[in-house]
Amino acid sequence: MDLSVKPKFDYIHFATIDSTSSWTKKNTALLNQNHITVITANQQTKGYGRFKRDWISPPGNIYATLFFTLPLDYSYLINLGQILALACNHVLESKEFPLQLKWPNDLLLGGKKIAGILVEILRSEKLEIVLGMGLNVNMNKEHLKNVDQKATSLMLFSKKTWGLSSILNPILYTFYNYLRLLSSSGFTHFQPIYQKLLAFQGKEIVCQLRNQKIQGICHSINPDGTLNLQLPSGSMISLNAAEISTS
């Protein structure tokens, strides 16, 4: 994909699908590797998030997967989900939604989850990026009761319904501009913004790694997007991947 030119988006939309990301991974050969392909659906029957957790996907929300390619030596893979989260924040902040970012890629509104982002990477001649996003827009209380954690929607927070394209389209163009900046300059430009939005700063959190849990104080974000965790001993460690929760 040539990031020096104006963004080119290809759109594929489904009324109902198992998962936009699952479909994307099965059909990468059909997609233009020089554009960003945006696969959306009104609803998903088998939506999923991190660790293959079910993502409740009734109509009225944004379910989108972005597909694009990057060079095999691309340096900023851990930041792709973060800049999409920041793009979401940029657009929603302009609509007066005060978001926080739960590291690495979740968005919180009023302390409740409003969106999740999942990065999956396939390797062939290039890196094939499958970047999935679920954003609760017009989700009602009844559907939210089925979510396995505290969650909300833009509609519940603002007491009004929202057109999906009025939110998704500016997110896509903001993400493209952020991707250009990330590719040319790294995550350093984004670090102060992310730091300002970081949820649980100064609070005790539990970080679930693959085979262990680490407890400490959520301290700060590094210029490369990793999280600084202050251990009970006072020492600091940096994490590039973990599932965090409040203790």
Whether 120 and 238 share a structural domain: no
pLDDT tops 60 at residue 51: no
Same domain as 168, residue 65: yes
Buried b (16+ CB within 10 A) or exposed e, 8-42: eeeebeeeebbbbbbbbbeeeeebeeebbbbbbbb
Q: In 3D, which of 20, 30, 42, 27 has the Cα closest to residue 138?
A: 42
From first CA to last CA, the distance across the chain in angstroms is 42
Q: How confident is the model at residue 50 (pLDDT cuts 50, 70, 90)?
A: low
pLDDT tens-digit readout, 14-37:
999 999 999 999 999 999 998 999
66 in a structural domain? yes
Last-in-domain residue among 195, 215, 238: 195
Residue 55 pLDDT > 80: no
Are 118 and 125 within 8 A, CB to CB?
no
2 within some domain: no
Tell me the CATH number at 122. Answer: 3.30.930.10
Do 171 and 221 sit in the same domain of this protein? no
User: In the prediction, which pLDDT does 98 show?
Assistant: 96
Give the Å distances, CA to CA, from 101 to 84, 114, 206: 11, 10, 16
With respect to residue 28, please indicate whether it lies within any of the assigned structural domains: yes
pLDDT at res. 53: 65
Within a domain: residue 54?
yes
Same domain for 124 and 221: no
Same domain, 74 and 171: yes
pLDDT at 103: 96
Measure the CA–CA gap between 91 and 117, rounded to whole angstroms.
16
Q: What is the pTM of this model?
A: 0.93
Tell me: do 211 and 187 sit in the same domain.
no
Q: Are residues 46 and 150 in the same domain?
A: yes
Tell whether 179 and 214 lie within a shared domain: no
187 and 204 in a common domain: no
User: Average pLDDT for residues 141-170, to the nearest whole number?
Assistant: 89
Q: What is the pLDDT of residue 38?
A: 98
58 is a domain residue: yes
Is 166 within a domain? yes
Residue 118 · residue 23 · CB < 8 Å: no
pLDDT band at residue 46, thresholds of 50, 70 and 90? confident
pLDDT of 148 = 66
Q: What is the pLDDT of residues 205-247, one digit of tens each?
A: 999 988 889 999 999 999 999 999 999 999 999 999 899 998 6
Residue 50 lies in a domain: yes
Q: 181 phi and psi, to 5 degrees? A: -65, -40
Q: What is the CATH number of the domain that holds 211?
A: 2.30.30.100
Provide the pLDDT for residue 246. Answer: 86
Question: Same domain for 86 and 152?
Answer: yes
Q: Which residues span the domain enclosing 206?
A: 200-246
Query: What DSSP string runs through 111-175?
Result: TEEEEEEEEEEEESSSEEEEEEEEE-SS--HHHHTTSSS-B--HHHHHTS---HHHHHHHHHHHH
Domain count, the chain: 2
Report whether pLDDT(140) > 90.
no
Residues 191 and 207 occupy one common structural domain: no
Interval 178-202: pLDDT, tens: 999 999 999 999 999 999 999 999 9
Asked whether the predicted pLDDT for residue 10 surpasses 80, the reply is: yes
The single-letter code of the amino acid at 136 is N
| Whether residues 66 and 171 fall in one domain | yes
pLDDT at 4 > cutoff 70: no
In a domain, 211, yes or no: yes
User: Does 49 have pLDDT greater than 70?
Assistant: no
